[in-house]
């Protein structure tokens, strides 16, 4: 990053002098320029989570809420951001730069995931403080949380590209998330056999839900190693999807 030489009026001098070189730094700067929104983003998940943890809610319900929170945080943020960028013409302008569309979208998605991760970090920290978490369970939870947030951002971007605009994007996100969360066993638990069992094994949300259950001291469906493998595969699938479909997201009018 390059630093400018002149003084800054109307904002923090340090922030105003950081010059964004790519979409990653640009997105982080835009987020940091709205500190009040950032505080609210961090506070809301914490306000929802702390009563669950402090009140010793049943692990199944607590894990379900935390998984839904992660899925919604990842998808809605990126979907709204992409939909607004599409309407303002920003995506078209990005599409006609010499940068590869897949690379641009990957940078954007990683930045958006980083913001979401910052938003949910206090939640994870409070789990680690208030619940009896082992080190492998904590590590697997952090990894699958990061991977699911990344995939959720990818899904949000793709939904925004296919959606009719900011007015419709929230409904479209929910239409996509509802079956994913249902087949991930968030509401009913994972079935032990049949086609729903197979779908559950492929659904990243089921691994995040399982990691939350384990961290909160319940009986998890998947072991830590399997959750970590799922995290790696989820991140890889998300990266491949965004690289392959980035052009569609940028070029969709």
Partner 1 sequence: MIEAAGLEHRFRNGRGVGPIDLRIAAGERAALMGANGAGKTTLLRILATATRPRRGGVLWCGWTAPCKARRLIGFAADSELEDVGLTGRQSIHFWCRQWTSSAQAATLVPRILERLSLAGVADEPIAGYSFGMRRRLALAQALVHEPRIALLDEPTAGLDAEGLEALQTQLASRAQTGDATLIASNDCTFVARACNRVIFLDQGLVVADAAPETLLASVGDTRRIELDITEGAHARIHELHNISGVANAVCASGVVTVDLLDDAALGAVVHVVDSWPGGLQALRIHRLDLSDVFRHLTGTALDSTGVQP
Query: Packing angle between helix 35-54 and helix 59-88, nearest 10 degrees?
Result: 160
103 forms part of the interface with partner 1 (CB under 8 A): no
Judged by beta carbon, residue 89 or residue 165, the one nearer partner 1 is 89
In sequence order, the 6+-apart residues with CB closer than 8 A to the CB of 187 are 64, 181
3-state SS, 99-123, equals: CCHHHHHHHHHHHHHHHHHHHHHHH
Give, for 2, the enclosing helix (H) or strand (E).
strand 2-3
CB of 104 to partner 1, least distance (A): 9
Judged by beta carbon, residue 24 or residue 207, the one nearer partner 1 is 24
Q: Which of 64, 71, 72, 85 binds partner 1 (CB under 8 A)?
A: 85
DSSP, collapsed to helix, strand or coil, labels residue 22 as: coil
Binding mask of the shown chain, residues 17 to 56, with x at each position contacting partner 1 by CB under 8 A: -xxxxx---x--xxx-xx----------------------
Q: Which residues of 41-65 are buried (b: 16+ CB within 10 A; e: fewer)?
A: bbeebeeebeebbeeeeebbebbbb
2 forms part of the interface with partner 1 (CB under 8 A): yes
Q: Which of 51, 58, 89, 179 binds partner 1 (CB under 8 A)?
A: 89
Q: Which of 42, 48, 65, 92 binds partner 1 (CB under 8 A)?
A: 92
Q: Which of 14, 55, 96, 129 binds partner 1 (CB under 8 A)?
A: 96
Q: Which of 6, 55, 192, 195 binds partner 1 (CB under 8 A)?
A: 6
DSSP, collapsed to helix, strand or coil, labels residue 124 as: helix
Q: Residue 188 corresponds to which tokens in the numbers above?
A: 């009913």
12 forms part of the interface with partner 1 (CB under 8 A): no
110 forms part of the interface with partner 1 (CB under 8 A): no
188 forms part of the interface with partner 1 (CB under 8 A): no
Q: Give counts: helices (H), strands (E), the chain.
A: 11, 2
CB of 159 to partner 1, least distance (A): 19
Q: Which of 48, 53, 99, 229 binds partner 1 (CB under 8 A)?
A: 99
Q: Which residues of 91-127 are buried (b: 16+ CB within 10 A; e: fewer)?
A: beebbeeeeebbebbbbbbbbbbbbbbebbeebbebb
Q: Residue 56 corresponds to which tokens in the numbers above?
A: 């010793």
Binding site for partner 1 (CB under 8 A): 2, 4, 6-11, 16, 18-22, 26, 29-31, 33-34, 84-85, 88-90, 92-99, 251
């Amino acid at each position: 990053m390059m630093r400018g030489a002149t003084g800054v009026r109307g904002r923090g001098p340090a922030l105003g002098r950081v010059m964004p070189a790519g979409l990653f730094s640009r997105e982080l700067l835009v987020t940091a320029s709205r500190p009040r929104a950032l505080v609210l983003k961090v506070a809301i998940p914490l306000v929802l989570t702390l009563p669950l943890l402090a009140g010793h809610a049943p692990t199944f319900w607590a894990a379900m809420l935390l998984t839904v929170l992660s899925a919604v945080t990842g998808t809605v943020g990126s979907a709204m951001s992409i939909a607004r960028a599409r309407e303002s013409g920003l995506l078209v302008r990005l599409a006609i730069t010499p940068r590869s569309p897949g690379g641009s979208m990957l940078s954007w998605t990683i930045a958006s995931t980083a913001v979401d991760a910052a938003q949910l970090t206090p939640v994870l920290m409070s789990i680690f403080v208030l619940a009896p978490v082992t080190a492998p369970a904590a590590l697997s939870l952090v990894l699958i949380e990061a991977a699911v947030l990344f995939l959720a951002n990818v899904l949000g971007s793709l939904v925004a590209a296919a959606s009719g605009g900011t007015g419709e994007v929230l409904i479209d996100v929910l239409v996509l998330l509802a079956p994913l969360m249902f087949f991930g066993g968030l509401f009913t638990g994972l079935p032990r056999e049949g086609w729903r069992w197979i779908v559950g094994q492929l659904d990243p949300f089921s691994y995040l839900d399982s990691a939350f259950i384990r961290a909160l001291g319940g009986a998890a469906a998947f072991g830590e190693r399997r959750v970590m493998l799922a995290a790696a595969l989820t991140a890889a699938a998300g990266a491949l999807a965004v690289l392959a479909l980035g052009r569609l997201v940028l070029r969709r009018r």
